[in-house]
Amino acid sequence: MAAAFLLVLVAVGAAQAAVPEPCRGGPASWCQDMATAIQCHREQYCRDLWDSLALGDVAEGDVAEGDVLGPGRGKKCSLCTKILQQIKAMAGDDPDEAAVEKVLGKACRALGRRLSRVCKWLVKKYREEISEALQNGDQPEDTCAAIGVCKA
């Protein structure tokens, strides 16, 4: 009887060791990139999650506790801030309207496939607000709060 119990424990331990490290976590681990999603056999789940982020309607269970970075700093807020930081870096310190329009046209392509979709949605929906914020020198966090993606 004790030998059978020990055999079960060894089998469970071996099964856990066979699961790759990023696949042992939750959605924040599985969906860090497409390669990991495929490795964890969570490709469709991650695609659905990324699509929901791009559409701005994350279901409560889709964001792991570790994804929250503080009050008002959930996954959508974090993505918005990261995207606007990249756009601001590309636009320079004191961009005029023409420079901002040029950057908004190409910034999303520079972010990679995953962030590109979210970026395109964000720019399409909030182009005027983003353009004005860049010209005013506003910080990305403040812009994301102003458009309602982050809590103020």
Residue 28 has pLDDT above 90, yes or no: no
Name the residue ranges covered by the structural domains of the chain. Answer: 2-59, 75-146
Query: Considering just the CA atoms, what is the radius of gyration of the chain in Å?
Result: 20
pLDDT value at residue 9 = 45
Query: What is the model's pTM?
Result: 0.52
| 74: confidence class by pLDDT, cuts 50, 70, 90 | confident
Decide which of 3.40.50.300, 1.10.287.3510, 1.10.225.10, 3.40.50.620 is the CATH code for 75-146.
Answer: 1.10.225.10
Does residue 107 contact residue 130 with C-beta atoms inside 8 Å? Answer: no
Provide the 8-state DSSP code for 69. Answer: -
